Structure 1
Amino acid sequence: MTGFARAEGQHDGLGWAWELKSVNGRGLDIRTRVPQGFESLEPLARQKLGEALKRGNVNVSLVVERRTGEAGIRINRAVLDQVLALQAELAGKVDAAPPRLEALLAVRGVVEAGEEEADEEARAARDADILAGLEQAVKAMVASRLEEGARLAAILTGHLDRIEELTAQAKTLGAVQPEALKARLRQQVTELLEASPALNEDRLAQEAALLATKADIREELDRLAAHIAAARELMQAGSQIGRRFDFLCQEFNREANTLCSKSGDAELTRIGLELKAVIDQLKEQVQNVE
């Protein structure tokens, strides 16, 4: 299911923001992106999302930055010492004046922007604050998906209603009733016997009975009705029905295909083809179900 959520805040002058984006997916695929120094939050983010969501392709990103005017600078003394040592080493070999302060500060790597490394307790407090923001974003994502689910339920119900209507129409067709099948086959057998009296009447009767059995679609219609009832029960069950509903759509499609293959009636074929079209629409929407 699709969804979007964002949560932001700050901790001790450090600004952070979580962004969660979700699109349709058969399973749950979580992709995270966190800045350097915050890698320890990645497995925790995956865990929280895995507990809250069961389906969808989810992209999670954390952006962290120092608030404007609050970032300080620091001297990388290791780099500075290397520059000074190199200057002393070359002093007797190269005729040059001692380096000025501004020249030393201009050497790449000597001056760094950023905060001093926080101690373990400070990092734990910072991470706890950021993770609390993630929980807010996850809750917002779930709420967003629930709202979409309510709208989706109406669409699914409409598709199921149409499948039920088409199934009822197929049942009422005289061409699928046993007596109509017998009459048509009896007429065909009579025509064959008149055209070729040498044909074995008993053998023809057996073949006709076999064809009548194969052409009878009442079993497919009964299964379609059972699948409709099962789909409605799934929708009443609530969350985490997406995969079962997807499997049920395959069963719907199987019965519609069989109905079309057995049909010897133009109107029944039309109904079967429309059934397949509606089932495809249902299956497409089911991909959005949690």
Structure 2
Amino acid sequence: MTAFALAEREIGAWVFTWELRSVNHRYLDTALRLPDSFRFVEGDARTRIAALLKRGRVEATLVLKRREAQAEGLPVNLELAGSLLAAASRIETLSGRELASFSALDVLRWPGVLNEAEVDRETLAPGLLDLLDEALAGLVRVRETEGRQLALLIASRCSQMREIVAGVRLRLPEVLAAMREKLRLRVTELAAKPDEDRLEQEMVYLAQKWDVAEELDRLESHLTEVERAIEQRDAAGRRLDFLMQEMNREANTLGSKSADTETTRASVELKVLIEQIREQVQNVE
């Protein structure tokens, strides 16, 4: 389910921001982007995300910057920087020629030249996780809003499918009677005196073959389950995925057993609506 949320807070000398993004995914897939010095919150962050979200690819990024009022000069390791410059000079002397020049920024980028301040884990961890909870609450609100809209769309298509199923069920006796009469006329044309017992057996067999009442019953049962699933607050995406597969199977069987064009058309319309719901279900947690 697509959503975005962020939460920002000053904690100590820093301003921290959690940015959360979620997109459609069959399962929960969490990607955390944290500064190296703050990897200590990764385990707890994953646990809190998994406690609230059950589906979707979630990207959680922690951004930090020092407050301007407390910004300090860069803590440079002058001893290491001097050693680095001296080593570069000796290499140039050994080579007998001037090597490619480098800037002061190149020296600062060398590992260890800039001394990073120690991170107080015990002080920062509770605040960072509490800030993550705030961002997650915002993300959940966005997803719930989208979920309510999707529920309305799915319910509307379920209503259309119920009308189609009811129409097929209403016409079922008429279709079977027409097929029986068609078979009787065909046999009469082929034989002057048809075997009534054999004819009746064939009619019973074809009536069973063309009878789609069982498929219609299962479709209605699945529709009831879909409507129940979208009304509950628990995660329902995977269950809806399964129900769409089962409904598509019943719609296919309805089409294969169809004895007239109207039933065939109904099967096609059902499959179109099922596919539309299936696409929407990918957004449902």
Q: 2:185 aligns with which of 163, 187, 199?
A: 187
**1:210-229 equivalences in 2 (<5 Å):** 210-229=205-224
Amino acid at match of 1:257: N
Number of matched pairs? 271
Q: In the alignment, which residue of structure 2 is the partner of 1:35?
A: 35
**1:101-116 equivalences in 2 (<5 Å):** 108-109=107-108, 112-113=113-114, 115-116=116-117
Give the 3 Å change call, closer, same or farther, for CA 125–9 of structure 1 in structure 2: same
Q: Is the 8 A contact 2:176 2:210 kept in 1?
A: no
Give the 3 Å change call, closer, same or farther, for CA 133–205 of structure 1 in structure 2: same
Matched, 1:56 2:56: yes
Q: In the alignment, which residue of structure 2 is the partner of 1:138?
A: 136
Unaligned runs of 5+ in 1: 94-104
Q: In the alignment, which residue of structure 1 is the partner of 2:250?
A: 255
Q: What is the CA–CA distance in structure 2 between the aligned matches of 1:53 and 1:46, rounded to whole Å?
A: 10
Give the 3 Å change call, closer, same or farther, for CA 54–176 of structure 1 in structure 2: farther
Alpha-carbon offset, residue 185 of structure 1 = 2.5
Give the 3 Å change call, closer, same or farther, for CA 107–169 of structure 1 in structure 2: closer
Alpha-carbon offset, residue 278 of structure 1 = 0.6
Q: Is the 8 A contact 1:17 1:64 kept in 2?
A: yes
Give the 3 Å change call, closer, same or farther, for CA 10–176 of structure 1 in structure 2: farther
Give the 3 Å change call, closer, same or farther, for CA 175–264 of structure 1 in structure 2: farther
Q: Is the 8 A contact 1:16 1:65 kept in 2?
A: yes
SS in 2 for 1:21: strand
Alpha-carbon offset, residue 60 of structure 1 = 1.0
Amino acid at match of 2:117: E
Alpha-carbon offset, residue 189 of structure 1 = 2.5
Q: Is the 8 A contact 1:20 1:61 kept in 2?
A: yes
Matched, 1:22 2:17: no
Amino acid at match of 1:214: K
SS in 2 for 1:289: coil
SS in 2 for 1:39: helix
Q: In the alignment, which residue of structure 2 is the partner of 1:265?
A: 260
Q: In the alignment, which residue of structure 1 is the partner of 2:76?
A: 75
Matched, 1:151 2:149: yes
Q: Is the 8 A contact 2:164 2:266 kept in 1?
A: yes
TM-score normalised to the size of structure 2? 0.84
Q: What is the CA–CA distance in structure 1 between the aligned matches of 2:164 and 2:208, rounded to whole Å?
A: 22
State which structure, 1 or 2, has the greater radius of gyration over its C-alpha atoms: 1
Q: In the alignment, which residue of structure 2 is the partner of 1:3?
A: 3
SS in 2 for 1:173: helix
Amino acid at match of 1:123: R
TM-score normalised to the size of structure 1? 0.83
Q: Is the 8 A contact 2:19 2:61 kept in 1?
A: yes
Q: What is the CA–CA distance in structure 2 between the aligned matches of 1:278 and 1:249, rounded to whole Å?
A: 10
Give the 3 Å change call, closer, same or farther, for CA 268–82 of structure 1 in structure 2: same
Alpha-carbon offset, residue 152 of structure 1 = 1.2
Give the 3 Å change call, closer, same or farther, for CA 47–107 of structure 1 in structure 2: closer
Structure 1 moving runs of 4+ over 6 Å: 84-87
Alpha-carbon offset, residue 80 of structure 1 = 4.6
Amino acid at match of 2:138: A
Alpha-carbon offset, residue 134 of structure 1 = 0.6
Q: In the alignment, which residue of structure 2 is the partner of 1:241?
A: 236
Amino acid at match of 2:217: D
SS in 1 for 2:75: strand
Task: Indicate the percent of aligned positions where both proteins have the same amino acid.
Answer: 39
Alpha-carbon offset, residue 207 of structure 1 = 3.5
Q: In the alignment, which residue of structure 1 is the partner of 2:170?
A: 172
CA deviation map 1:194-221 (0-9, x unaligned): 4xx7x86654543343222111111111
